[in-house]
Amino acid sequence: MADKVLRPAINALLKAAAAAFLVCPPFFSPVLVTPLYAGAALDSLNEIITPVEPPAVPAVAPPSAYPAASVSAARALNVYFISVGQGDCEYIELPNGKNVLIDGGPSDSADSPLAEFLARHNVTKIDYVVLSHPHSDHYKGLRYVFNNFTVGNFYDTRMDNAGSATDNALRDQIRDLGVNVTYPAPGDTLDWDSNVQAKVFNSCPASTQSSSGRDINNCSIVIKVAYQHSSVLFTGDMENEVESALVSTYGSELQADVLKVGHHGSKYSTSEAFLAAVKPHDAYISVGAGNNYGFPTFACLSRLQAAGATVYRTDTDGTQKYSSGGASPSLTGQALAFMR
């Protein structure tokens, strides 16, 4: 610092002295002028001036040393609408690392679409399995699951399909395996993840029996899964009578960004009043190509279009993935084509 302050002044003195010597040389002795240069002068002055130490600058930790923002540490909720043919099957990856399987589709073979999906995702255990209702296009694939995977918890209705014996054979197998079985009631909240709300809107927790397809469909476990700023409503094969009852009971609480369309797009589901309450941005239809039922029906598709929902179909679009939340704040609900 002293060097920076004194050097210009001394240089100025030297220039003045040289000019004076040229004008009046008799008054200057060469012995005195010769050693008078800036470096020598600064050395002499430095001996009498105490150098000023620059103030200490505190060390700044590198960026990696700072704690990450909470949003960066958050994990996404991933929902897969699996293309299993004419049936229903959804797989959920929870933010806490656990997983959920809702229904299993119509095939229990080792080369079924569900089996291939689980193998591709390196799934070895399923924490929560939900059977929405006892129709084979929803439960048959679960036989493969319970034969080949460790399952932590099973959620079921108490509806007995009187027209089939295989639903109870599956239930007996699950009991023999010692899996924890729960019969959720409407209004229950399922403890899957402390950051995720999974609320039940419909089920049949009391023992009942029927061979009527409509009665069995209307016993479907209906669950809304909400995480951060988005939500997904899973409806099984619920038909319009139960939809109307839910609108009367829950109203705007049914609102969801994503709707798993009821009963594969049947004309008896997804009513205008129900859509007005749900207000879905995206709608996923689990349906098989060229099925014998005419699903999804024109009536259902028209109502979804009128409601402003973007429709995805497993028969034409393959397996679909919906992600909510996660590390990026902008990822608060994205529908992504996954695979065929």
Q: DSSP string spanning 265-316?
A: G-TTSS-HHHHHHH--SEEEE---TT-TT-PSPHHHHHHHHHTTPEEEEHHH
- Alpha-carbon distance of 82 to 90, in angstroms, equals 6
| Same-domain status, 190 and 264 | yes
Q: Identify the band that residue 59 occupies on the pLDDT scale cut at 50, 70 and 90.
A: very low
| Same-domain status, 89 and 174 | yes
Return the residue matching tokens 């001996």: 47
Q: Identify the band that residue 337 occupies on the pLDDT scale cut at 50, 70 and 90.
A: low
Cβ pair 77, 94 in contact under 8 A: yes
Q: Residue 199 CA to chain centroid, in angstroms?
A: 18
| Same-domain status, 214 and 288 | yes
What is the 3-class SS of 114-130, one letter each residue?
HHHHHHHCCCCEEEEEE
Cβ pair 287, 314 in contact under 8 A: yes
Greatest distance between any 2 Cα atoms in the chain: 132
Classify residue 70: in a domain, yes or no: no
| Same-domain status, 142 and 236 | yes
Q: Which domain holds residue 18?
A: 2-57
The CATH number of whichever domain residue 141 belongs to comes to: 3.60.15.10
| Same-domain status, 86 and 35 | no
Classify residue 96: in a domain, yes or no: yes
Q: Identify the band that residue 325 occupies on the pLDDT scale cut at 50, 70 and 90.
A: confident
Give per-residue pLDDT as tens, 67-87.
333 333 469 999 999 999 999
Give per-residue pLDDT as tens, 287-297.
999 999 999 99
Domain count, the chain: 2
In angstroms, what is the C-alpha Rg of the chain?
37
Cβ pair 316, 289 in contact under 8 A: yes
| Same-domain status, 35 and 122 | no
Classify residue 72: in a domain, yes or no: no
**Which of 1-5, 80-84, 165-169, 210-214 is least confident?**
1-5
Classify residue 169: in a domain, yes or no: yes
